[in-house]
Structure 1
């Protein structure tokens, strides 16, 4: 495994670092001010300015391999995603590399018909619209995706959808023009062939956005929030189905592999910036006659944070390398993807906790982004599957390997 940046990646990395310094970091306060002053759930105007600048500099759709995107491998994208994670509220979206659009574009790139690509993938790739992915439900344990109860029933040339969803990220943003909805087309089929995915335009009658959810009190309104919604006799043309009936579970798995590693890459960037903030605060803040940096416990936290983060980065890079080099693609890195999904949130939670502690009461406030980042990172222990599911699967595979 050679993790040295090739010339193309290094050129993009330097270009992105400059973009962050010149445009993203200065825009953070503007973004926050416009979010408070603007309409709820809408994107602050400064974001469109950043998108225009990123697009003009070739920093666009970096997450997507192949002809539809920038053509980067997972290993090439890793250091770039990490850099965007240093400003997680702004940078990923500015580069058209933010969830849930990234996963939805991957689904459409891999499985959409030509008409679906024209109607929805092309405007998403251009950054003209946003999207949402509607899988999780309040009435079933959605950690087991086969539990999904929403019904997608054929009626002539249409499908009719009835269901109840929640934690649908970005759905409250009025520019989220298309929803990928997962539901059951055949409850009597084999367990992993019951589910299908279908495209539902936002303005379809019967689709009702009921409320926005909060995460530890944060409504994430500047990113379209996390919606609870209902679908009541929602009727869409049969050609809105993605793939075939019964393909939904397999499509979800194809979507989640890259999504999980992208989350981890960005979260490493959050941790890097948290360590930077912690070190600056420790050097500047004086307590009991000397800087906090002179306190042994603070030095221990900083050293431990660096060790833990370097270990985590290497594990993420290994997963990316395996995804690129294995003949099975993401399946060949299944264990490593599960490992980083387990390790990343808990590692970065620990780092953020110590950074908050070094900042004192300020670390809990809205003046420093650490508290909001902590809430964001905590969600990753549920998003794309809870830790316990990944641990159970990983352990099962490990036991089977040695039992044989």
Structure 2
């Protein structure tokens, strides 16, 4: 089996890696210190727009959206190592206009949006002029089963009327966030997966209110944040509905395949960064007359971390290859497998690196504490481990059950 990168992917890997090393990594620590010192940290500091302009000028822009003509034209397999490189940095995805949830939302608009919706929202997103948010999870119901959704999107004459409360609406704190994709119940009497709709909601629409920004392990992920948002009699024209009423689940399933490739490959990069920091600490720090690497089984822990990262990467690449060749329908089990494996591997590796750093590992002097909270939260995002394990088991047992 040939694991070599295509010539196109290899070129992007070299260029993206060089940009991160020379343009992003030197400024990121000071950027984070400056941001967190702001009275209001939900701001875009000038260095972000400067780096975005440089990246776009070098053609390192919209590297996702396979085969669309709107991005770099990379396959999922070709994009995966670029997402891994971006995962080493908290700000790199935004610099290359490859941030979640914008990538998933842009995929939705590209695949399902009307020409008018694409002109109004997709094109400014592709230019990096605005940001977006995806409003699906709700506090009152077990959102691991999306059919529990209580928020409504009811058709009344020539309007769609939205009511409900969403939370963990990631990215809504960004000052450039202009539009939400809202998912709500439209017809409870329709077939189970034809009851819901997705609606494009300008955030300045009357009835939309951000109630609070939610902490994740005490962190607010500024300037993006995770919001609790209420929608109270929000009225929009029917042409705000994406692809038409009742197609929300169909769109959601199309959105979640490639988006998980992006999350998981970024996490591989984050785990690599943590392992790198851990190895550096283990070889430079001395206790009881020995480098930490020679104490308490740390060599074995480092070896297991390397093995686990490589295994996870190969599973993600296989999943990317299946998405490219047979589509989401043929890769559902693999998508769920990586959703379970990669966040667990990343949290284990980061935890080991924190332990090697001692008390310093849980401070903001190193990026490990923030990395851990992000990786741990992703065991819940896009569905908890248990949901995905059930899907994998169902696929595995299908050939044995009568």
Taking structure 2 as the reference length, the TM-score comes to 0.98
CA distance in 2, matches of 1:186, 1:174: 34
Match of 2:207 in 1: 206
CA distance in 2, matches of 1:42, 1:213: 17
Aligned to 1:279: 279
Unaligned 5+ runs, structure 1? none
1:114-193 → structure 2 map (5 Å cutoff): 114-193=115-194
Give the C-alpha shift of residue 276 in structure 1: 0.5
Q: How far 1:37 moved relative to its partner?
A: 3.3
Matches within 5 A, 1:25-64: 25-38=25-38, 39-64=40-65
Find the residue that maps to 1:42 and give its secondary structure: coil
Partners of 1:293 and 1:30 in 2: CA distance: 30
> For the residues of structure 1 that align with 2:350 and 2:30, how far apart are their CA atoms?
24
SS of alignment partner, residue 64 of structure 1? coil
Provide the residue aligned with 1:311 in structure 2. 311
Give the number of equivalent residue pairs: 400
| SS of equivalent to 1:242 | coil
Distance in 1 (alpha carbons) for counterparts of 2:213 and 2:80: 31
Aligned residue runs from structure 1 range 334-353, under 5 A: 334-353=332-351
Partner of 2:322: 322
- Name the SS for the 1:181 alignment partner: strand
Greater shift, 33-42 or 139-148, is seen at 33-42
Aligned to 2:241: 241
Residue 93 (structure 1) aligns with = 94
Matched with 2:295 is 295
Deviation track 1:15-74 (CA, whole Å, cap 9, x = no partner) reads 111101111101211321231233232233221111111101111010111112111000
Asked if the contact 1:131/1:170 (under 8 Å) is kept, the reply is yes
Distance (Å, rounded) in 2 between the aligned partners of 1:163 and 1:44 = 33
Unaligned runs of 5+ in 2: none
CA RMSD of aligned residues (A): 1.1
Answer whether contact 2:44 2:175 (CA < 8 A) is retained.
Answer: no
Query: Secondary structure at 1:402's aligned position in 2?
Result: coil
Q: Say whether 1:263 aligns with 2:263.
A: yes
Counterpart Cα distance in 2 of 1:48 and 1:24: 12
Deviation for aligned residue 1:296: 5.1
The 4+ residue runs of structure 1 with deviation greater than 6 A are none
Output aligned runs, 1:75-90, within 5 Å. 75-87=77-89, 89-90=90-91
| 1:264-312 C-alpha deviation (Å, 9 max, x unpaired) | 0000000111111001101110000111122251111111100111111
Residue of structure 2 in register with 1:73 after alignment: 75
SS at match of 1:9: helix
1:3·1:317 contact (CA, 8 Å) conserved in 2? no
CA distance in 2, matches of 1:103, 1:35: 26
